[in-house]
């Protein structure tokens, strides 16, 4: 997410280092590159134009504060403007006084509404709400079955549509059933089309009129870029939406739609989908997203993920081992099992401030599919080998590869990555390590 934009902005800020004051000349060149970076990220042209002018006015003539370089000053200005561009603060779902409160998901076919409905229901369930699901999609083959299987797998109540084929009747009866059974929220998964048509919109307007949803959320596919913004605008014009859930954010390296939506439509992004797993739905925080875009990490989201996935006692024991440089291959295996519960490894690394500055991490491309292989390799080692990797010679590597069904090259790669990670952890646990990470200041 935003990978290309982040790299280009970091390059711009690097060029501003060493200058004593921000003036018209050095700011003009920087803004030209920022403008191109935003356009290449598929941000709306008018949004880019207004954004650049705003940053220019704020940056030109700014005195550089002691201990802060002009590059860092511009980063602060761009960060603040990005936060404003994306809405300022997070927008929570409003349930009103309805019981149950219907939350209606709308959008085109293929945008991920059904999986998003389950993700949202699970999120609300974890917030202490009693949540009910209903599928009003009677057109897509197996849509009702898909939602039912996902709901049952995650322990979420779902309305049995039976032989009903009328989406409006389904929704009305589902709300009645949810009220009767004491559910607080009902998430309605509506049907989509390949494009906006009158029939689809009429159906959605009838459902809206009958169940009076507390919120209508447009589900947008981030991979479609500015098309997502345009389609959201049409839905808002005809139906009136309250916010957006942006899906597939983990697969879009540009992310321009996320930067354009609030400015173009005036409607906030409320959640973002960051992967295929049912728990891969995050509340959208503009300030945290701006930090990620600028390569500053996102410690708050990382901590929240860790609190739900990582055992506290294990974390404390691991911290002691890292400080004493006693981080073993066995710890590495256990840590991978814990971290894999938190979602995408690439995304997690991106949340750590300054992580891209570590030269040891530059060639490391974490692959989710490799986790099983890594665990198998470590499990094939003896206890002594896991405690002291230095004794793993050529013969031992061959035996470990045979035992894990991998190759000697796989074993060598694992050991190299383990050594690199140990180096990173040693630097992170050193004096003022976290403080330096937050500022992105590393002497290498």
Specify if 94 maps to a domain: no
One domain, residues 218 and 117:
yes
For 26-62, the pLDDT digits (tens) are 788 888 888 888 888 878 888 889 888 888 887 775 5
Identify the residue with better confidence: 249 or 174: 174
Torsion over CA of 344, 299, 337 and 284, rounded to 10 degrees? Answer: -40
For 172-194, the pLDDT digits (tens) are 999 999 999 999 999 999 988 77
Specify if 213 maps to a domain: yes
One domain, residues 128 and 190:
yes
- Supply the Cα-derived Rg of the chain in whole angstroms: 25
The residue out of 291, 317, 336 marking a domain boundary is 291
Q: What is the pLDDT of residue 61?
A: 58
* Distance from the Cα of residue 59 to its chain's centroid: 30
Specify if 92 maps to a domain: no
Mapped onto helix, strand or coil, the DSSP state of residue 218 is: strand
Q: What is the pLDDT of residue 180?
A: 93
Q: Answer whether residue 439 shows pLDDT above 50.
A: no
Q: What is the pLDDT of residue 438?
A: 41
One domain, residues 131 and 201:
yes
**Once rounded to an integer, what is the mean pLDDT over residues 400-417?**
92
Q: What is the pLDDT of residue 309?
A: 52
One domain, residues 355 and 236:
no
Which of 45, 31, 13 minimizes the C-alpha distance to 256?
Answer: 45
Distances in whole angstroms, Cα of residue 224 to Cα of each of 94, 149, 251, 410: 28, 28, 11, 37
Q: Residue ranges of the alpha helices (H) in 60-112? A: 70-85
Q: Residue ranges of the alpha helices (H) in 239-344? A: 256-265, 286-293, 299-309, 312-323, 329-340
Q: What is the pLDDT of residue 346?
A: 57
Specify if 95 maps to a domain: no
Q: What is the pLDDT of residue 59?
A: 74
Angle subtended by helix axes 24-40 and 3-15, to nearest 10: 170
| Size (the chain), residues | 444
Task: Return mean pLDDT, the chain.
Answer: 79
One domain, residues 183 and 278:
yes
One domain, residues 150 and 286:
yes
Specify if 140 maps to a domain: yes
Q: Answer whether residue 296 shows pLDDT above 80.
A: no
Helix (H) or strand (E) holding 423: helix 408-428
Q: How far apart are the first and last CA of the chain?
A: 25
Q: Answer whether residue 358 shows pLDDT above 50.
A: no
Specify if 178 maps to a domain: yes
Confidence class of residue 394 from pLDDT cuts 50, 70 and 90? very high
Q: Report residue 245: phi and psi, to 5°.
A: -110, 115
Q: Answer whether residue 401 shows pLDDT above 70.
A: yes
Identify the residue with better confidence: 38 or 338: 38
**Once rounded to an integer, what is the mean pLDDT over residues 375-400?**
92
Confidence class of residue 92 from pLDDT cuts 50, 70 and 90? confident
Ranking 18-32, 330-344, 430-444 by mean pLDDT, the lowest is 430-444
Quote the CA–CA distance of 421 and 228 in Å, as a whole number. Answer: 39
Q: Report residue 45: phi and psi, to 5°.
A: -60, -45
One domain, residues 13 and 117:
no
Specify if 93 maps to a domain: no
Mapped onto helix, strand or coil, the DSSP state of residue 314 is: helix
Which of 169, 25, 197, 186 minimizes the C-alpha distance to 104?
Answer: 186
Specify if 96 maps to a domain: no
Torsion sign, CA atoms 39, 22, 290, 14: positive
Ranking 53-57, 118-122, 369-373, 386-390 by mean pLDDT, the lowest is 369-373
DSSP letter (8 states) at residue 63:
P
The residue out of 269, 291, 313 marking a domain boundary is 291
* Distance from the Cα of residue 268 to its chain's centroid: 16
Q: Which domain holds residue 173?
A: 101-291
Query: Is-contact 134 171, C-beta < 8 A?
Result: yes
Q: What is the pLDDT of residue 179?
A: 93
**Once rounded to an integer, what is the mean pLDDT over residues 237-256?**
80
Q: What is the pLDDT of residue 362?
A: 47
For 201-227, the pLDDT digits (tens) are 899 999 999 999 999 999 988 887 778
One domain, residues 306 and 287:
no
One domain, residues 378 and 435:
yes
Note if the bond before 238 is cis, omega within 30 degrees.
Answer: no
CATH assignment of the domain containing 49: 1.20.120.140
One domain, residues 263 and 305:
no
Note if the bond before 100 is cis, omega within 30 degrees.
Answer: yes
One domain, residues 284 and 308:
no
The residue out of 54, 85, 116 marking a domain boundary is 85
Q: Answer whether residue 298 shows pLDDT above 50.
A: no
How many independent structural domains does the chain possess?
A: 3
**Once rounded to an integer, what is the mean pLDDT over residues 345-364?**
51
Percent of the chain with pLDDT over 90: 28
Confidence class of residue 406 from pLDDT cuts 50, 70 and 90? very high
Ranking 220-224, 380-384, 415-419 by mean pLDDT, the lowest is 220-224
One domain, residues 245 and 116:
yes
Q: What is the pLDDT of residue 254?
A: 62
Beta strands in 2-140 (DSSP E): 101-106, 131-135
Q: Answer whether residue 430 shows pLDDT above 90.
A: no
Quote the CA–CA distance of 38 and 149 in Å, as a whole number. Answer: 41
């Amino acid at each position: 997410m935003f990978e290309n934009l982040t790299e280009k902005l970091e390059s711009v800020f690097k060029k501003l280092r060493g200058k004593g004051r921000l003036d018209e000349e050095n700011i003009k060149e920087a803004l030209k590159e920022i403008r191109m970076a935003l356009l290449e990220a598929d941000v709306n042209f008018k949004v880019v134009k207004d954004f650049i002018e705003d940053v220019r006015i704020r940056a030109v003539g700014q005195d550089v504060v002691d201990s802060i370089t002009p590059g860092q000053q511009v980063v602060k200005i761009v960060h603040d403007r990005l936060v404003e561009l994306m809405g300022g603060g997070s927008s929570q779902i409003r349930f009103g006084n309805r019981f149950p409160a219907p939350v209606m998901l709308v959008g085109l076919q293929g945008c991920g509404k059904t999986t998003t409905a389950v993700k949202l229901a699970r999120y609300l369930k974890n917030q202490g709400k009693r949540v009910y699901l209903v599928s009003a999609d009677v057109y897509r083959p197996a849509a009702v079955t898909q939602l039912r299987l996902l709901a049952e797998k995650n322990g979420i109540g779902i309305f049995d549509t039976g032989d009903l084929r009328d989406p409006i009747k389904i929704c009305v009866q589902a709300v009645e059933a949810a009220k009767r059974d004491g559910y607080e929220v009902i998430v309605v998964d509506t049907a989509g089309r390949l494009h906006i048509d009158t029939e689809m919109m009429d159906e959605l307007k009838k459902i809206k009129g009958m169940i009076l949803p507390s919120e209508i959320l447009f589900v947008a596919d981030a991979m479609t870029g500015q098309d997502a913004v345009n389609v959201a605008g049409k839905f808002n014009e005809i139906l009136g939406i309250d916010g957006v859930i942006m899906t597939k954010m983990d697969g879009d390296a540009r992310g321009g739609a996320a930067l354009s939506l609030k400015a173009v439509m005036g409607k906030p992004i409320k959640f973002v989908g960051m992967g295929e797993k049912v728990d891969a739905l995050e509340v959208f925080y503009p300030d945290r997203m701006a930090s990620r875009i600028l390569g500053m990490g996102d410690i708050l989201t990382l901590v929240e993920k860790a609190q739900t996935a990582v055992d506290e006692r294990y974390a404390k024991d691991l911290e002691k081992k890292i400080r004493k440089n006693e981080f073993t291959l066995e710890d590495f295996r256990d840590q991978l099992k814990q971290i894999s519960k938190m979602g995408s490894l690439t995304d997690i690394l991106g949340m750590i401030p300054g992580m891209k500055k570590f030269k040891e991490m530059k060639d490391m491309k974490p692959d989710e599919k490799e986790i099983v292989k890594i665990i198998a390799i470590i499990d094939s080692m003896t206890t002594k080998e896991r405690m002291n990797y230095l004794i793993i010679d050529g013969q031992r590597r061959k035996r470990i590869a045979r035992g894990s069904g991998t190759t000697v090259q796989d074993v060598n790669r694992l050991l190299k990555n383990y050594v690199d990670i140990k180096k990173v952890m040693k630097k992170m646990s050193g004096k003022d390590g976290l403080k330096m990470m937050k500022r992105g200041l590393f002497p290498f």
